[in-house]
Amino acid sequence: MKANLHKNVGGLWAGVFQSVAFIAPAAVAASFLDVETGYVGASATFVFLIAIIGVSSAMYMNYVFSGRISHAGGYYAYVRAGLGPKFGIFSGWLYFINVLGALSGFAVLFFAGVLWPLIPSLASNPYGWIPLAFIPLSIILLLLYRGLKPSLAYTIIGSIIEISFLIGISIAIIIEAGPANSIIPFTPHGNSFGNIGLAAVYSILGFVGVGSVITLSEELRHPKKVIKKAIFIAMGITAVVYILVSYSMVIGWGINNMAAYSTATNPGFTVVEDFFGPVVMVIFIIITLNSFISNGIAEGNAFSREGFALARDGIVFPKSMAVVHHKFGSPHKVIIVEWIVIVALTLAGGLIFGPFVGATIITAVNGVVLYIVHILANFSLPVYGKKTMKLKLKGLLPLALAPLLATVVYAFAIYGEFVPFPSAPDNVGAFAIIASVIIGIILVFVYVAKKSDADINSIGTEKDSISDMAQESS
């Protein structure tokens, strides 16, 4: 067994499509877009524009940190670098919960929820979604265990096909719609702040993963150069796709009939069938289902690297699990344990609430805890600039102000989750968020009480993961 992740496994485009696959635009169009229209109707594109602005601001933090820190824990190391080890532990725990929820809720339960109604023999069975859930679960486990190279190859091919198809059908729908095109989807259109906030939870969540490439920074070639470029390219690609897809679906369905969109079964498939016929619709279904799988693989890459980084520091997992497979280079012990936990959460959420509602609740949890991590990382950046980069006021201002808009948007999305406090079953997600935060605080106190000062100060900095400490900002 080896204790280090394999080096130089991929380059720029491997990083780009790790991010794009994690974002999974086709899967978002088939899941979150339904939820968003339930809150804001025809203004779904407007909410995506809010998300683009907020996430672009957030990526400035990733851009700066990724040029100086290469660590499998990603945000865990970023928060620790500025705010110290205690906040690092807390953010590492919350990011762990985030990707756990993303995998079980989005990649698996939404996959089953989308496919289940399309198979009559299973749709009539209340447990018919369970074997469908094990399709992505099995593929994800196999590819993750086999290592980063096959995982990235799968996501690159799938993402290229997915993006090309989405852009093509969106432009065709917009052209075909003709006089039905409208400015309304780009406006609030009378929606309340509360509804926009709730929809923002899901629209911003639709961009989650653009920064996931940072968890591969110990394995990609020239990570301090490649990751910054990968984030920028992936963000641009996804922004274009979301604007086109959200707008074309609203226009294609009908602005005045959006209440029916949010309650329909797989309305995106219906729009495509109406405009292009059943053959293209079947292609869209296949691409969408594969989008969930590609998403799960990309999330699994991030999840396993985060788990590996935490295990190296004896957080969540014992240090004995911080090993990689001698042949495949995968953190296989962490992968197997994480996979078991994902299966358990998937079955619990699906059996209690059903796959689609269960997925919605779980992904709301993973979204909000990630927003907390991002806010902490945004605050960590200027502190890091002052303590480590030794910047004066002029140099610190961009580090403090550029992520500020993202912090406001993320705070607004968190507000939307709790105000007004949701009723059942959505309140389960709200309580789970509160529980995750409390457990994270307890974890910090327990770790600090049991570990030596040397162990505490070393977290998030092992294997020369935080380097170039004296380097001036470029």
Confidence of residue 164 (pLDDT cuts 50, 70, 90): very high
- φ and ψ at 69, to 5 degrees? -125, 125
- Tokens 């209440």 found at: 259
pLDDT on residue 469: 34
Domain limits for position 392: 12-464
Question: Is the residue at 1 inside a domain?
Answer: no
The residues near 357 (Cβ < 8 Å, ≥ 6 apart) are 425
CA distances from 256 to 37, 185, 251, 316, 336 (A): 12, 11, 10, 49, 48
Would 2 be classed as within a structural domain? no
Closest by CA to 473, choosing from 389, 397, 401, 396, is 389
Under the banding of pLDDT at 50, 70 and 90, the label for residue 158 is very high
Q: Provide the mean pLDDT of the chain.
A: 91
Contact (Cβ atoms closer than 8 angstroms) between residue 289 and residue 115: yes
Q: What is the pTM of this model?
A: 0.89
CB within 8 A of 279, min separation 6: which ones?
A: none
* Mean pLDDT score, 313-342: 95
Q: Is the pLDDT of residue 77 over 70?
A: yes
Output the domain CATH number for residue 405.
1.20.1740.10
Q: How many domains does the chain have?
A: 1
Judge whether 470 lies within some domain.
Answer: no
Is 469 inside any structural domain?
A: no
| Residue 322 placed within a domain | yes
Q: Do the domain assignments include residue 474?
A: no
Q: Does 5 map to a domain? A: no
pLDDT digits (tens, 9 = 90+) for 106-128: 999 999 998 999 899 999 999 99
Confidence at 289, pLDDT banded by 50, 70, 90: very high
Answer whether residue 462 shows pLDDT above 80.
Answer: no
Q: What is the pLDDT of residues 368-408, one digit of tens each?
A: 999 899 999 999 999 999 999 999 999 999 999 999 988 98
- Is residue 7 assigned to a domain? no
